[in-house]
Chains A and B, each alone.
Chain A
């Protein structure tokens, strides 16, 4: 049922499927593995992650040479299930594949000795399968399919710990995401009944019916945005996110940097660019309200973050705020603003995952969950806090870390589009970011520890070495598996910011995407 174009080699259709399979097959195998087979499971996980990254890199090279990758399966009516890989998909794919690899390493270290690891890693891999499916979707129906699959596969991860709190958080999560899925389905079905197609197209595909169905299209836009906006944590649909912090740190990292929230933001990008097209969206007048919602979310998220003592909840509200930078960039409807928004997909992902890795290390090694307990931590865990610091400074927008680049382009984009209020929002938000990040750094580096931390007894957590040896490399502050990932992602945040003008940097890639959207004939 896979249509192969006669003139193209078989690879074109098979590569997207292989990308899916590289996490789907390990997932199915892992479900049946007994708990004790740690090595097999780790091998499958890491092997799948490496293969996926390699495949995506291969496709990146191929697309840069002008290759087209597409696989389709007829589903219903004239609609097919379409997987295709273009510039925007590749951006998200690369982010997903790369961060999955890093998070897998981290999760293996974090969950050592925990129960139900086979179940966890099985759903973990399924979740990434859904995410790359979202990234490669070629029409709104395929997007809907993988988006819903994402809901189903992340629920077991949220409730993994099995406590009452986890179950309640899972219930809230589910209520939000199921309602969102219904709105998305309503919008999609309605749109299809009007336009007869759902295939993503560079300028959108609603132009033909825009004149006759203005009201319907506006309503459909609202439905679709609300549908994906729940996952993207737009206010007031965001309340599931802080509550989902009961999940283990690797899950929070995955949900906030890679999978769910990014998929929601990616969905908004797709809806504005490839469903409606920027011209039609502006003509319908929906970009203005969208920008307002984004701005409200940015400010509200930052404000709530100021008052959180629980570290992960503070980071959660920070995510609520930061992801809406992407939405703001898209909604301002200008080439430079869209660059800022799209590149922030990658930058925010890297920085936020570093922060969550750091939070996870603090919780796992020292039992620290609250900011008020973090006095003097910098001396005890310098490398973790070093990575944390870099990421936090990037969030605030300090050059040359990647976050600065996104804000720079967003600001430029606002000026280019002739609107000034986003600048005020960005400034206010950066100030608030400073207000809730700098105190953490101050506490960690410059204060003395007030109370002794709840360090586990020697041997209780074998993956975290006990203190005693003198040199830092023989006594890392925490397990290697927990230390390396944040170091890698922090370094990437710095390097990507420093070398942003190199050919394959996310910034250059975003410029390419923006150019294609705004100047494509």
Chain B
């Protein structure tokens, strides 16, 4: 148990640096871009420090203010949280560089973007670290407010409507979650995750089931799992490009992370019925989201529906994790990491295309895409990861989940995953295909700053690189998990391992 003493405490730095940066950016609107970039960089460094710390010494626990559980709030940095924080930091730095160029000429939006974005990052890091159910509620709400405010940034009617809907959905989801926390507190007398996990086996069943139901429902709403996905496309599509990137890549991961945390650490596995339900909804999300994405006429809507589809993949890991298989949830986590990088790159590419062409109808993209090869390359590489083609992070995640599915005989889930890849190819190439046919009119568009093109391209490249680095990252993902959850080697009758 480490207390916040002198010397560099990465756990605290990772939350308080962006918070301080946000306040500074708010107070000094003239210099927000520079301050924002510096803060982003520092936060990324702090995240790196924390990652190395965790790799070296195992999971890190911090008691805030020195108060221990059950009354105090504990922060825990283990493999799951650190890997998501690392992904957040990568996307965060790229988005910051991108946004600095994107908002260069928009002073009002720039003045508000940076504080809100850094607050969002603070909330994310705090959420990933929290090991206390109520603290998680607070961070969830903070996240929701920052995200909704960012959605409304452009001030257009569509953006405002999207933001209001987003805010209400977010509050509703958090309330449902809070109801669950209330019931758990009634059952167990504490809200600390470790202590709840210990006592939940002895708690009265109806209370626990009601609590789980409420919490899961709230988190499903916030993760936009089918059929609760209705709020996502309007919100993500009407926000400015860097905000859409953050929303799709990072914010939906937060509630998914929370579900994983609850499922494995609090409930110790969850019930079969609930797992199957989540898997079925996930499968429906993959098909539904992909088909709708393919039918969209506007680029950002297409990418938003792609997020709806990809979220479905994550949830198919729940029925596959019942037998104690680590492969399924590792695959889902890897998919989440890769998706974060790739989806951010996609939205940033869309932002470039829209900046150049001033519109985002896909049918008219050929006039624009032809002239922005770097952006198209970024979109294609990100698409490769979304489609799950090798070599990419998306492929590795898909492979791990396919293995889990085949080993457990779940051919139905495997078929959905494979078919989802085909559908993803349909909507990715709907966009990419337009790059090779020059439009009839020579288009004179706004120049796209190099920073915007290169940040998108590098992020997409990182998603691809993720496909080659699993052996490096595997130990990180599994810091803090029980040894029994290590991936079993594929066994076959007669094969002596």
Contacts and interface: CB of A to CB of B under 8 A. Distances in A.
Verify whether A and B have any Cβ pair under 8 Å: yes
Nearest to B396: A76
B395 to A, nearest CB: 8
Interface in B162-203: none
B436 A148 contact: no
Given A195-B492, A196-B489, A196-B495, A76 B400 contact: yes
A171 B437 CA distance: 13
A148 B389 contact: yes
Contacts of B65: none
A190 interface: yes
B471 A75 contact: yes
A51 interface: no
Given A182-B418, A196-B490, A209-B494, A145 B438 contact: no
A119 B437 CA distance: 13
A170 B414 contact: no
Contacts of A162: 436-438
Given A75-B471, A76-B470, A209-B494, A160 B436 contact: yes
Contact of B402 (A31, A181, A189, A196): A189
Contacts of A144: 390
A182 B419 contact: yes
B157 interface: no
The contact size tier of chain B is 35 or more
B204 interface: no
Contacts of B436: 156, 159-160, 162, 166-167, 170
Contact of A193 (B421, B468, B490): B490
Interface in B444-497: 467-468, 470-471, 487, 489-495, 497
A181 B403 contact: no
A209 B493 contact: yes
A75 B396 contact: yes
B142 interface: no
B422 A186 contact: no
A182 B492 contact: no
A296 to B, nearest CB: 26
Given A145-B390, A185-B418, A208-B495, A192 B490 contact: yes
Given A73-B468, A75-B470, A148-B389, A159 B418 contact: no
B494 A181 contact: no
A186 B418 contact: yes
Interface residues of A, number: 44
A14 interface: no
A55 interface: no
Given A160-B436, A174-B429, A182-B422, A77 B403 contact: yes
Closest A-B pairs by Cβ, 6 of them: A193-B406, A196-B490, A145-B390, A189-B402, A178-B425, A74-B471
Interface string B380-419: 1000100001110000100110110011000000100011
A77 B391 contact: no
B471 A181 contact: no
10 contacts: A75-B470, A155-B429, A167-B436, A170-B433, A174-B433, A178-B421, A189-B399, A189-B403, A192-B490, A209-B494
B98 to A, nearest CB: 22
B490 A208 contact: no
Contacts of A194: 406, 492
B492 A178 contact: no
B390 A148 contact: yes
A178 B467 CA distance: 19
A144 B390 CA distance: 8
A53 B2 CA distance: 61
B419 A195 contact: no
B437 A167 contact: yes
A212 B425 contact: no
Contacts of B402: 185, 189
B492 A208 contact: yes
A455 B407 CA distance: 64
Interface string A161-203: 0111011001100100011011001100110111110000000
B494 A152 contact: no
B403 A192 contact: yes
Contacts of A178: 421-422, 425
A75 B490 CA distance: 15
Nearest to B497: A196
A73 B465 CA distance: 13
Nearest to B487: A77
Given A75-B471, A76-B470, A186-B418, A212 B493 contact: yes
B414 A186 contact: yes
Contacts of A119: 373
Overall SS of chain B's interface? helix
A210 to B, nearest CB: 10
A78 interface: yes
A395 B380 CA distance: 40
Contacts of A78: 489-490
Most buried by B among A167, A171, A185: A185
A76 B495 contact: no
Contacts of B399: 76, 189
A181 B389 contact: yes
Interface string A206-222: 00110010000000000
A145 B490 CA distance: 21
Contact of A196 (B389, B437, B470, B492): B492
B437 A159 contact: yes
Contacts of A192: 403, 406, 490
Nearest to B409: A193
A43 to B, nearest CB: 22
Contacts of B380: 152
Contacts of A181: 389
Of residues A76, A78, A119, A156, which shows the largest number of chain B Cβ atoms within 10 Å of its Cβ?
A: A76
Contacts of A209: 492-495
A192 B418 CA distance: 16
B424 to A, nearest CB: 9
Contacts of B492: 194-196, 208-209
B69 to A, nearest CB: 37
Contacts of B487: 77
Contacts of A76: 396, 399-400, 470-471
Contacts of B418: 182, 185-186
A194 B409 CA distance: 11
Contact of A171 (B390, B433, B495): B433
A157 B431 CA distance: 17
Nearest to A216: B406
B279 to A, nearest CB: 18
Contacts of B471: 1, 74-76
Contacts of B489: 77-78, 196
Q: Which of the listed residues A73, A144, A186 has the most CB atoms from chain B within 10 Å of its own CB?
A: A186
Nearest to A177: B425
Interface in A46-81: 73-78, 81
Nearest to B377: A31
A275 to B, nearest CB: 15
B384 A190 contact: no
B337 to A, nearest CB: 14
Contact of A195 (B437, B468, B495, B497): B495
Given A77-B403, A162-B438, A212-B493, A152 B389 contact: yes
A167 B429 CA distance: 11
Given A179-B422, A182-B422, A196 B491 contact: yes
A181 B399 CA distance: 14
A181 B424 CA distance: 13
B438 A152 contact: no
A60 to B, nearest CB: 28
A167 B470 contact: no
Contacts of A196: 489-492, 495, 497
Interface in B210-232: none
A164 B438 CA distance: 10
B352 to A, nearest CB: 18
B433 A167 contact: yes
A195 B494 CA distance: 10
A248 to B, nearest CB: 13
